[in-house]
Amino acid sequence: MDLRFDFNGLLDFNVGGQHGLTRKELDEVFPLARQAQQHLRQLSASPDDRTRFNLEWTRLPFLTEAELSRVNALASEVAGRYENVVFLGIGGSYLGLKAAQDALCPPYWNEFASARRGRPKVYFEGNNLDPTTLATLLKDLSPARTFVTVISKSGETLETKAGFEVVRHWLKESAGENWPEQVLVVTDPVSGWLRKLVQQSQGPGRSGLRSLPIFPGVGGRYSE
């Protein structure tokens, strides 16, 4: 899919000379833009600089085939088994996902099966401490037909943790000790409450919580 940014609405010949950018102004800023681009490329070429300046997101489009295959396989499994997917997150873990959905999916995704073409409905929660919206959502969803993805770079985000505690007990009432099969955790690969929860859930005879890492140097706003 091609993504294009149409900036003609910024230019003077469309919105008038008083408010629009002129060709002269664009020509003046081009050298600075090229200089900034070159500087960013130099930093992005160094693994240490990418981590230190939170620029690892620049490498995300170039994930290995194995990493992409793992994500796609999990997505296909979830789509084939569940009617609903609830994302728990705040900031980039919510707004980034919502922006991607709005940009790439048909309008009214949840309302029309023809738009989803067999994919699950998508809901966003865990972005505040108001219990009303989450309680209303869970009341009308089937826990057996719902998959949950909880996202926090630090694994310590208060709103997300609170929402996940509610959802976790909701899943337990339906699935019992098998509730981890319906959860994906996206968090720091080493530290944080969520990573500790993943580690505690795994052991002999237990599948435990599945997880995907937010790589060091990737800011939380890119965690979608």
Backbone CA torsion sign across 91, 63, 116, 84: negative
Residue-level pLDDT at 122: 96
Residue-level pLDDT at 216: 81
Residue-level pLDDT at 84: 97
Below-70 pLDDT ranges, the chain: 1, 223-224
Residue-level pLDDT at 223: 66
Residue-level pLDDT at 224: 67
Residue with tokens 């793992």: 70
The residue among 174, 127, 4 whose CA lies nearest residue 183 is: 174
Q: How far is CA 204 from CA 131, 195, 201, 207, 209, in A?
A: 36, 18, 10, 8, 13
Give CA–CA dist 19/9, Å, rounded.
10
Extract the runs of DSSP E, i.e. beta strands, from 82-218.
Answer: 84-88, 121-125, 146-152, 183-187, 210-213
CB 131 within 8 A of CB 166: yes
Residue-level pLDDT at 30: 92
Give CA–CA dist 159/90, Å, rounded.
7
pTM, whole model, 2 decimals? 0.81
Residue-level pLDDT at 139: 94
Residue-level pLDDT at 75: 92
